[in-house]
Structure 1
Amino acid sequence: MAELRTAVSRLRRELAVHPAEFPDRGIAEDELAALAAMAVGGAPEAPRLRRSLLLIAGSIGSVSALATGLADVRSAVELFGEPPRH
């Protein structure tokens, strides 16, 4: 949980100070807020974490300045288990 809280907090700060506006910034901010709430609210559900991660990645994936922070959030989400194999 601590790693998730730290990674989400860091990416939220990086996004807040990033000067460029992009169309899906609000989605990224909303999903980061949801991840932050899940991180302090107890054991989050892995599928919900992965869904938020996908939305964040889709929203800011092309902003290279945020790539490291996004990778950190991804690593933290992966600690909650791998997605089911079909």
Structure 2
Amino acid sequence: MRGAPPHEGAEPRRIRGLGEGAEESPLSALGVAVARLRRELGGYRAVLADREVAERQLATLERLIAGGDPDESDLRDALLLIAAAVGSVSALAAATAQLRRAVERLAMARRRGGVAAARPAVR
């Protein structure tokens, strides 16, 4: 189905320009998901009672990502607050789901191979 979000076990995105077989790191995928939800929330013009909560938590996620080694519980706390703030807005559902999947993917990468598996490749 065109435009449908990938299912839970979907393969990581291939990144153009990084060479054959290059994959988006879990941390990079989280950054992409945060940027998408921020963009879509910015474009959602209807009144949203908890918009400021969602925006604050997106900013928190951006700071955690920029630090390079976000704590899983901090990520999950921010995700929970964002989901509570925008979860009932169908226009933001796909972006919120992408964010949830990105947090889960980062957590799984850490469990399998430690923090290094979750960090973007240094070039």
- TM-score normalized by structure 1? 0.91
Q: Greater helix share, 1 or 2?
A: 1
Which aligned runs of 4 or more in structure 1 are off by greater than 2 angstroms?
none
Counterpart of 1:46 (choices 41, 56, 72) is: 72
Hey, what's the Cα distance between the residues in 2 that align with 1:68 and 1:47? 23
What is the deviation of 1:80? 2.7
Sequence identity percentage: 48
Q: Which has the higher contact order (CA 8 A, sep 6+)?
A: 1
**Per-residue CA distance 1:22-64 (angstroms, 9 max, x = gap):** 1111000000111011111111000000000000000001100
Counterpart of 1:34 (choices 49, 53, 60) is: 60
RMSD: 1.0
Match of 1:33, as an amino acid? Answer: A
Counterpart of 1:5 (choices 13, 17, 31) is: 31
What is the deviation of 1:72? 0.5
Q: Answer yes or no: is 1:63 the counterpart of 2:89.
A: yes
What is the deviation of 1:78? 0.6
- Unmatched 5+ stretches in structure 2: 1-26, 109-123
In the other structure, the counterpart of 2:42 is 16
Hey, what's the Cα distance between the residues in 2 that align with 1:36 and 1:81? 17
What is the deviation of 1:81? 2.1
Hey, what's the Cα distance between the residues in 2 that align with 1:45 and 1:79? 14
